[in-house]
Structure 1
Amino acid sequence: MAKSRKKEEMLSLLSQIQENPTTEEAIASLRQVLNSKYSVAIARTAKIVGKFAIVELIPDLVAAFARMMVNPTVTDQGCLAKKEIAETLYRLEYSDENLFLEGIRHVQMEPIWGGKEDTAAHLRGICALGLVRMNYSDVMNELADLLADPKPEARVAATRAIAYSANPQGVPLLRLKVRIGDPAPQVLSECFTALLQLAPQQSLPLVASFLVDSEEQICELAALALGESRLDAAFDTLKNWWERTRSAELRRTGLLAIAMLRHDQALEFLISLVAEGKDLDAKDAIAALSIYREDYELWQRVYKAAEQRADISFLQAIAMQS
């Protein structure tokens, strides 16, 4: 009971000082919490330190992280404190690679009903970003290992970290990953996006190859990644694929991807479908163009195109998207 009361007292203290935590007295209280053994309170304190950039508490964060690494399933259940500490140190541009290396390699298996679960995947992802930000010399090897992590969350983080690095050395890793596949569609989606960021011209044909002879979900992910890329060359690729596709769902996705390009040519094509396309294509084009409904001038063009059809249902479709 005494331990529980002490933890509640610390949490209550944090609630009281979080609006103005930069006074000398408040910083002393935050330091006291960071030096405690209550991981929930330490996690909350780390958030406050990060939010207000209290850099004088960085050594205390580092010390707390080290303590939470000792018998971690007991001292820091759920990896709560270590995740928040790493996040804060990353945001405060902490530049000692040892902590991030320890974090990116940390696996914390905790008991759950029917077995055990690794609770450190998010920590590994944050530490990957920390190593990239500080230009750690061997970061690509660390990210390659993380890209093969058992946890999808960590693999997604590895992909984002490779994109964040803007390092062309990451391109072969991503190309290999998409070639061998991944059971988690989100990982492939992030790989598509990262490839189109790091090496747009050479990656466009690779991503486009997943528009055909792939599962429908993978086709959709490839199309949306191409749309998000805003590459000029992606328009013809998406348009030609859309014209050959028979699946109604994929055709809707294709028009959305074309809208996401945000090019004049793409917008003109969609507006022409509203005015002259088949009924279903016209309504799908209206839905795709709805991402611009806050653009009054463009939305008026869509409205005028729909008026040409002399069918009130198309004007109603526009009203529903507004």
Structure 2
Amino acid sequence: MPVHRSFERELAILESMSGRTPDEADIARLRRTLESENNYLVAKVAKLVAEHEVTGLLPQILAAFDRFLIDPVKRDPQCWAKNALVKALVKLGCRDAAVYLRGLRHFQEEPVWGGQSDTAGALRATCAQVLVECSELTEAALLNILLEPMLDPDKTVRIEAVRAVGQVGGVSSALLLKLRVLLRKEEPEVLGACFSALLRMQNNDRLGTISLVADFLDHGEEAASEAAFALAETHDSAAVQALIDRRRYGADPWFVSILDQAIAVSRTQESLEFLLGLIERDPRQAASALEALSRVYASSDVRLRIAQCVARSRSERAQQAFRQFFPEPAADL
């Protein structure tokens, strides 16, 4: 049988296994295909093994992962097999730190137009996260391991490393993340991950952390929107007050919109009252506040309160924005 037809037949058989419990013959086929040199087929098998949690194939998944780390550019371009295999290992409960350390330290430079590009970022990101669950590693050892991925060239890896440090918790983790923030030399998304990790930590200096993140609430800071939403997601009164104080200070229209959305996302009574007050007292700000509220609140009670504030504003601009963001609900047929 021609190679391409053999591949298509095998692929069709594997795809037919999705969504149904594999029988003994299916598992035997999965075991055989894990030994294939075709990285795409092995990736398909790994996804099926993870989907059905076929724990009996854990040794074969481990062997395949190691195999595709050898001569990887030729044998596993784009890391298709390794990415799927490491996710299967996680799903099957493998928590052997040595396995994920191999993945964390793997870089795969592949030829692209004009040079080379590393395709192993997603693999390193996954491994950084799962290492937190490897009980054999002490807190000190784990933080030492995560230092390098926090400086990884790939932004996704840095984000996942920051999240992993946050999950480790403790004073050392908090200091490490605060140092990363204070350097102010990171991309906004990575700083946002630092903000969220710090704000989620237990037994941390909460007010000090809120103040640290709130320092980025300036329209001149590229990470301002990341800081705003990190504060909002805490639903903490001090964090919400920091957002409201910054909103009262004034900003350009884009950042006003960001602040209003963040204040609404916090879903506190204080934030709701603040936005309702804006609608009623300052028609120029009504559209931004109404849009923010429309994205968060859908209840008829809140809609009624908003409508009353719009009516008391006596502003055509506010009424027009209300009709835009809170259209009349469709009548039941």
Q: TM-score, normalised by structure 2?
A: 0.90
Displacement after TM superposition at 1:6 (Å): 3.4
Match of 1:202 in 2: 208
Displacement after TM superposition at 1:184 (Å): 2.3
CA contact (8 A) 1:55 1:92 kept: yes
Match of 1:234 in 2: 239
CA contact (8 A) 1:216 1:250 kept: no
Q: 1:282 aligns with which of 279, 286, 306?
A: 286
CA contact (8 A) 1:292 1:299 kept: no
Match of 1:220 in 2: 225
CA contact (8 A) 1:90 1:130 kept: yes
1:305 aligns with 2:309: yes
CA contact (8 A) 1:306 1:315 kept: yes
Find the aligned partners of 1:295 and 1:91 in 2 and give their Cα distance.
Answer: 39
Helix, strand or coil at the partner of 2:93: coil
The one-letter code matched in structure 1 to 2:87 is E
Displacement after TM superposition at 1:164 (Å): 3.2
Give matches, 1:158-169, under 5 Å.
158-169=161-172
Residue-pair matches, total: 320
Match of 2:97 in 1: 97
Helix, strand or coil at the partner of 2:22: coil
Provide closer, same or farther for how the CA distance between residues 130 and 243 of structure 1 changes in structure 2, counting only shifts above 3 A: same
Helix, strand or coil at the partner of 1:169: helix
Helix, strand or coil at the partner of 1:20: coil
1:64 aligns with 2:54: no
1:37 aligns with 2:33: no
Find the aligned partners of 2:36 and 2:145 in 1 and give their Cα distance.
Answer: 32
Out of 287-296 and 55-64, give the one that drifted further: 287-296
Provide closer, same or farther for how the CA distance between residues 311 and 254 of structure 1 changes in structure 2, counting only shifts above 3 A: same
Helix, strand or coil at the partner of 2:31: helix
Displacement after TM superposition at 1:23 (Å): 1.1
Match of 2:150 in 1: 147
CA contact (8 A) 1:274 1:305 kept: yes
CA contact (8 A) 2:17 2:48 kept: no
Match of 1:184 in 2: 187
Displacement after TM superposition at 1:149 (Å): 0.5
Find the aligned partners of 2:60 and 2:168 in 1 and give their Cα distance.
Answer: 28
CA contact (8 A) 1:110 1:119 kept: yes
Deviation beyond 6 Å, 4+ runs, structure 1: none
CA contact (8 A) 2:283 2:313 kept: no
The one-letter code matched in structure 1 to 2:324 is M
Provide closer, same or farther for how the CA distance between residues 10 and 153 of structure 1 changes in structure 2, counting only shifts above 3 A: same
Displacement after TM superposition at 1:19 (Å): 2.7
Q: 1:258 aligns with which of 228, 252, 263?
A: 263
CA contact (8 A) 1:103 1:124 kept: yes
Deviation string 1:135-168 (CA, Å, 9 cap, x unpaired) is 3322211211100001111101111222333444
Find the aligned partners of 1:21 and 1:218 in 2 and give their Cα distance.
Answer: 47
Displacement after TM superposition at 1:131 (Å): 0.8
Match of 2:134 in 1: 134
Deviation string 1:157-189 (CA, Å, 9 cap, x unpaired) is 111222333444321221111122344221111
Q: Which runs of 5+ in 2 are unaligned?
A: 327-333
Provide closer, same or farther for how the CA distance between residues 68 and 237 of structure 1 changes in structure 2, counting only shifts above 3 A: same
Displacement after TM superposition at 1:92 (Å): 2.7
The one-letter code matched in structure 2 to 1:308 is R
Find the aligned partners of 2:10 and 2:35 in 1 and give their Cα distance.
Answer: 12
Provide closer, same or farther for how the CA distance between residues 320 and 29 of structure 1 changes in structure 2, counting only shifts above 3 A: farther
Displacement after TM superposition at 1:295 (Å): 2.4
Find the aligned partners of 2:45 and 2:322 in 1 and give their Cα distance.
Answer: 48
Provide closer, same or farther for how the CA distance between residues 245 and 311 of structure 1 changes in structure 2, counting only shifts above 3 A: closer
Displacement after TM superposition at 1:228 (Å): 1.7
Find the aligned partners of 1:134 and 1:201 in 2 and give their Cα distance.
Answer: 32
Q: TM-score, normalised by structure 1?
A: 0.93
The one-letter code matched in structure 2 to 1:143 is L
1:293 aligns with 2:297: yes
Find the aligned partners of 2:57 and 2:229 in 1 and give their Cα distance.
Answer: 43
Find the aligned partners of 2:180 and 2:9 in 1 and give their Cα distance.
Answer: 49
Provide closer, same or farther for how the CA distance between residues 315 and 28 of structure 1 changes in structure 2, counting only shifts above 3 A: farther
The one-letter code matched in structure 2 to 1:265 is E
Provide closer, same or farther for how the CA distance between residues 2 and 70 of structure 1 changes in structure 2, counting only shifts above 3 A: farther
Deviation string 1:72-125 (CA, Å, 9 cap, x unpaired) is 111110111111111121233212111101001111111111111111111011
Find the aligned partners of 2:54 and 2:187 in 1 and give their Cα distance.
Answer: 38
1:247 aligns with 2:244: no
CA contact (8 A) 1:90 1:126 kept: no
